[in-house]
């Protein structure tokens, strides 16, 4: 591998090479077993004598840091023993919104993982995906050129057909933009529509990541309460320019927005010249009740940007989402996509298009709907029986999680239950963590990541945590 070495001057060159290679080994930039450049190769790169490099390597070998292997060259012999020293310097100024943003942390999943927003990755059709992806690389998608920033034509067509059949969305392929997950779609809308100081209405409680994204563009976030019918339209202030909602399955509580509220929201947006983002994040997994039309399908004014994703229905790692744009925004969103340059890999888009066109995606969704419905029913039944003293489950017939309010209505109880659960290898989300205004203590339990055989024991441990905390209070 190449190794960067910077010579300060022409004095004591062998020692400079020795010290920099030694530091690279001890700090872990060169790992045990790595091959360092041959003496001739490094000498030519640094424009110094080969004997100088050879002397530096002899010193490294004398310390036991490297050794020569016949036919393999000179290899690193030791593991790193020190961390790289942090660079000193002035603290750079960052915008206020990022000072309070939660850190990006990916913790190791515990055994009893009721984490939210995670599908069952073990059920993904890996074999079909690999075979299809290999065909795409052998075909025209591997030409190595930049593709259309709005997305692969085959995938845009496949998505248009899919959402029309499955969700009643009215869309042509040219209305579709493929994005890097749903968050990529929100980002494009924010780039195109939000001026600094613009007011954005969000559900409270609601999904925090779009809220933070809109704030990062300088928007003023307006939390709007939800009730059993969804967003409270009467609580919307007049000067809102963008409204973010999850009408099919309110996140995180789970109820759908009523038809009357949907019509009222669209009429409100038309009167106030506002745009509505409809996040239809896991609508494929509906287990009961009559399906409601999407906002986009009943929008007569061109006010709705419909956003979907394949993160829950397939895999988050694919990072493939999409939006359906009203005609007045299509050109600007396409230009913003080209500027952002964050569209998913071309071959992955073509592969997904093939899975949709050949029915693999639909079959996978049907299988996962049955699996999630069984888990949903099992957890809900346990909450209603064994947790009835502690929790009040929120009605929900869609998705891969369910929420339950804490009967004590005390945030301190919620935090203590979470702390105890962590110590017993149980993970869930706090309901109040999704609130902007008044906190609503409770638990949010996902059932995508947990294995079927661990559900009963995970819930048993969780009940013990609830009992210990609420008995003490």
Q: Which structure tokens are listed for 136?
A: 């795409």
pLDDT value of residue 81: 63
Among candidate residues 196, 245, 244, the one with its CA nearest the CA of residue 219: 196
For 250, the domain range is 123-358
pLDDT value of residue 125: 95
Among candidate residues 183, 192, 141, 137, the one with its CA nearest the CA of residue 338: 192
pLDDT digits (tens, 9 = 90+) for 57-112: 999 999 999 998 877 788 998 876 655 566 666 778 888 888 888 777 666 788 99
Among candidate residues 275, 208, 210, 205, the one with its CA nearest the CA of residue 240: 275
Residues 464 and 381: their CA atoms lie apart, in Å, by: 17
pLDDT value of residue 103: 77
Assigned domain for 199 exists: yes
Burial class (CB in 10 A: 0-12, 13-18, 19+), 107: exposed
Please indicate, yes or no, whether residues 183 and 235 belong to a single structural domain of this protein: yes
pLDDT value of residue 106: 67
pLDDT value of residue 107: 67
Residues 177 and 332: their CA atoms lie apart, in Å, by: 11
Assigned domain for 2 exists: no
Q: How far is CA 6 from CA 13, 47, 129, in A?
A: 10, 12, 45
Domain stops at, among 325, 358, 391: 358
Assigned domain for 84 exists: no
Please indicate, yes or no, whether residues 344 and 449 belong to a single structural domain of this protein: no
Assigned domain for 3 exists: no
Q: Are 185 and 322 in contact (CB under 8 A)?
A: yes
Please indicate, yes or no, whether residues 337 and 390 belong to a single structural domain of this protein: no
Residues 145 and 162: their CA atoms lie apart, in Å, by: 27
Assigned domain for 313 exists: yes
pLDDT value of residue 94: 86
CATH number at residue 459: 3.90.1150.10
Please indicate, yes or no, whether residues 154 and 275 belong to a single structural domain of this protein: yes
Q: Helix (H) and strand (E) counts for the chain? A: 15, 17
pLDDT value of residue 108: 79
Contacts of residues 363-366 at CB distance under 8 Å and 24 or more positions apart, as own/partner, are 364/123, 364/124, 364/125, 364/313, 364/314, 365/284, 365/285, 365/313
Domain stops at, among 293, 328, 358: 358
Among candidate residues 52, 28, 37, the one with its CA nearest the CA of residue 4: 37
Q: Which structure tokens are listed for 249?
A: 């399955």
Residues 327 and 308: their CA atoms lie apart, in Å, by: 18
Phi, psi dihedrals of residue 459, rounded to the nearest 5°: -70, -35
Any alpha helices (H) in 387-427, and if so which ranges? Answer: 411-423
Residues 312 and 87: their CA atoms lie apart, in Å, by: 40
Among candidate residues 312, 372, 374, the one with its CA nearest the CA of residue 121: 312
Q: How far is CA 122 from CA 119, 169, 284, 368, 400, in A?
A: 9, 30, 18, 11, 15
Any alpha helices (H) in 289-390, and if so which ranges? Answer: 295-298, 327-340, 346-357, 360-386
Residues 473 and 465: their CA atoms lie apart, in Å, by: 13
Give the total number of structural domains in the chain: 3
Strands (E), 71-152: 73-76, 112-113
Q: Which structure tokens are listed for 158?
A: 């496949």
Please indicate, yes or no, whether residues 351 and 382 belong to a single structural domain of this protein: no
Residues 412 and 418: their CA atoms lie apart, in Å, by: 10
Strands (E), 228-366: 230-231, 240-245, 275-279, 304-309, 321-324
Assigned domain for 376 exists: yes
Please indicate, yes or no, whether residues 345 and 257 belong to a single structural domain of this protein: yes
CATH number at residue 68: 1.10.10.10
Specify the 3-state DSSP secondary structure of 231.
strand
Assigned domain for 160 exists: yes
Which H/E stretch holds residue 429? Answer: strand 429-430
Q: Are 327 and 181 in contact (CB under 8 A)?
A: no
Please indicate, yes or no, whether residues 67 and 153 belong to a single structural domain of this protein: no
pLDDT value of residue 85: 63
Q: Are 74 and 66 in contact (CB under 8 A)?
A: yes
Specify the 3-state DSSP secondary structure of 381.
helix
Assigned domain for 396 exists: yes
CATH number at residue 338: 3.40.640.10
Q: For the chain, what percent of residues have pLDDT higher than 90? A: 74
Domain stops at, among 304, 328, 358: 358
Among candidate residues 52, 60, 41, the one with its CA nearest the CA of residue 10: 52
Residues 289 and 258: their CA atoms lie apart, in Å, by: 12
Residues 192 and 136: their CA atoms lie apart, in Å, by: 33
Please indicate, yes or no, whether residues 63 and 187 belong to a single structural domain of this protein: no
pLDDT value of residue 473: 54
Please indicate, yes or no, whether residues 212 and 310 belong to a single structural domain of this protein: yes
Please indicate, yes or no, whether residues 252 and 222 belong to a single structural domain of this protein: yes
Half-sphere exposure of 349 (CA within 13 A, CB side): 27
Please indicate, yes or no, whether residues 162 and 245 belong to a single structural domain of this protein: yes
Please indicate, yes or no, whether residues 318 and 301 belong to a single structural domain of this protein: yes
pLDDT digits (tens, 9 = 90+) for 263-282: 999 999 999 999 999 999 88
pLDDT value of residue 398: 86
Low-confidence ranges of the chain (pLDDT < 50): 141-142
Q: Which structure tokens are listed for 36?
A: 């360092």
pLDDT value of residue 82: 58
């Amino acid at each position: 591998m190449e190794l960067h070495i910077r010579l300060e001057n022409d004095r004591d060159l062998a020692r400079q090479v020795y010290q920099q290679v030694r530091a690279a080994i001890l700090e872990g930039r060169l790992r045990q077993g790595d091959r360092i450049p041959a003496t001739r190769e490094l000498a030519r790169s640094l424009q110094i004598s080969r004997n100088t490099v050879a002397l530096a390597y002899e010193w490294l070998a004398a310390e036991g840091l490297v050794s020569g292997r016949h036919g393999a060259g000179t290899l690193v012999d030791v593991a790193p023993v020190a961390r790289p020293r942090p660079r000193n310097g002035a603290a750079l100024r960052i915008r206020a919104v990022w000072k309070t943003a939660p850190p990006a942390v990916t913790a190791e999943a515990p055994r009893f993982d009721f984490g939210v927003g995670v599908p069952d990755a073990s059920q993904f059709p890996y074999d079909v995906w690999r075979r299809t992806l290999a065909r795409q690389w052998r075909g025209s998608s591997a030409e190595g050129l930049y593709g259309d920033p709005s997305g692969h034509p085959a995938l845009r067509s496949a998505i248009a057909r899919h959402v029309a059949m499955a969700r009643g969305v009215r869309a042509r392929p040219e209305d579709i933009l493929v994005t890097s997950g749903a968050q990529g779609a929100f980002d494009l809308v924010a780039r195109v529509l939000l001026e600094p100081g613009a007011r954005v209405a969000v559900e409270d409680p609601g999904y925090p990541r779009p809220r933070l994204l809109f704030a990062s563009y300088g928007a003023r976030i307006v939390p709007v309460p939800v009730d059993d019918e969804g967003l409270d339209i009467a609580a919307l202030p007049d000067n809102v320019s963008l409204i973010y909602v999850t009408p099919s399955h309110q996140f995180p509580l789970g109820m759908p927005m009523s038809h009357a509220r949907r019509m009222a929201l669209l009429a409100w947006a038309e009167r106030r010249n506002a745009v509505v983002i409809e996040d239809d994040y896991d609508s494929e997994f509906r287990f009961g009740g009559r399906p409601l039309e999407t906002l986009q399908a009943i929008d007569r004014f061109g006010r709705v940007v419909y956003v979907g994703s394949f993160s829950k229905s397939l895999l988050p790692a694919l990072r493939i989402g999409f939006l359906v744009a009203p005609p007045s925004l299509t050109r600007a969103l396409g230009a913003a996509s080209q500027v952002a340059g964050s569209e998913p890999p071309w071959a992955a888009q073509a592969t997904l298009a093939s899975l949709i066109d050949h029915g693999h995606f639909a079959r996978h969704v049907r299988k996962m709907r049955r699996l999630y419905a069984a888990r949903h029913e099992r957890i809900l039944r346990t909450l209603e029986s064994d947790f009835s003293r502690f929790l009040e489950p929120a009605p929900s017939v869609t998705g891969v999680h369910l929420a339950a309010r804490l009967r004590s209505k005390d945030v301190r109880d919620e935090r203590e239950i979470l702390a105890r659960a962590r110590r017993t290898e149980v993970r869930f989300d706090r309901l109040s963590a999704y609130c902007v205004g008044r906190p609503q203590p409770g638990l949010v339990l996902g059932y995508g990541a947990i294995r079927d055989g661990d559900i009963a024991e995970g819930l048993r441990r969780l009940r013990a945590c609830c009992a210990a905390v609420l008995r003490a209070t």
